[in-house]
């Protein structure tokens, strides 16, 4: 079953230095969808740990299975327009509407 349009939860504003969690979920797709987050139209890299992520100055963790994008400490650089895309290899991938987060 192809995925339906996912529901994205993006806070409209966040305080610098706080923990911010963005979520994306759709329930119709079978097999379960994987989620890809985008910022200002650019796909975010999946980083699950530290090390190389720190070197690239990446302040988030993206989980493609659960659809969460977690910022440990947001900075002004994280301000932007976010959306996510759900895909499971069946039919067309589906995107939620773009939401702006201001830090």
pLDDT digits (tens, 9 = 90+) for 40-84: 999 998 765 555 545 466 778 999 999 999 999 999 999 999 999
Are the C-beta atoms of residues 93 and 2 closer than 8 Å to each other? Answer: no
Identify whether 25 is part of a domain. yes
Helices (H), the chain: 52-55
Q: Is residue 18 part of a domain?
A: yes
1 located within any domain: no
CATH of the domain at 29: 2.60.40.10
pLDDT at residue 53, rounded to an integer: 47
**What is d(CA 32, CA 42) in angstroms, rounded to the nearest whole number?**
23
- Report the domain count for the chain: 1
**Cβ proximity of 71 and 59 under 8 Å:** yes
Q: What is the mean pLDDT of residues 34-39?
A: 96
pTM of this structure: 0.88
Closest CA to 7 of 102, 90, 82, 95: 95
| Residue range(s) defining the domain that contains residue 26 | 7-101
The answer as to whether 23 is a domain residue is: yes
> Is residue 2 in some structural domain?
no
């Amino acid at each position: 079953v192809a995925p339906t349009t996912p529901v994205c939860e993006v806070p409209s504003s966040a305080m610098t230095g706080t923990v911010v969690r963005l979520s994306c979920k759709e329930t119709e797709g079978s097999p379960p969808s994987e989620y890809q987050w985008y910022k200002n139209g650019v796909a975010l890299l999946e980083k699950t740990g530290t090390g190389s992520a720190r070197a690239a100055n990446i302040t988030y963790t993206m989980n493609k299975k659960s659809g969460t994008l977690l910022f440990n400490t947001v900075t002004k650089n994280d301000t932007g327009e976010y959306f996510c895309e759900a895909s499971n290899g069946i039919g067309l991938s589906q995107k939620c509407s773009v939401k702006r987060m201001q830090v």
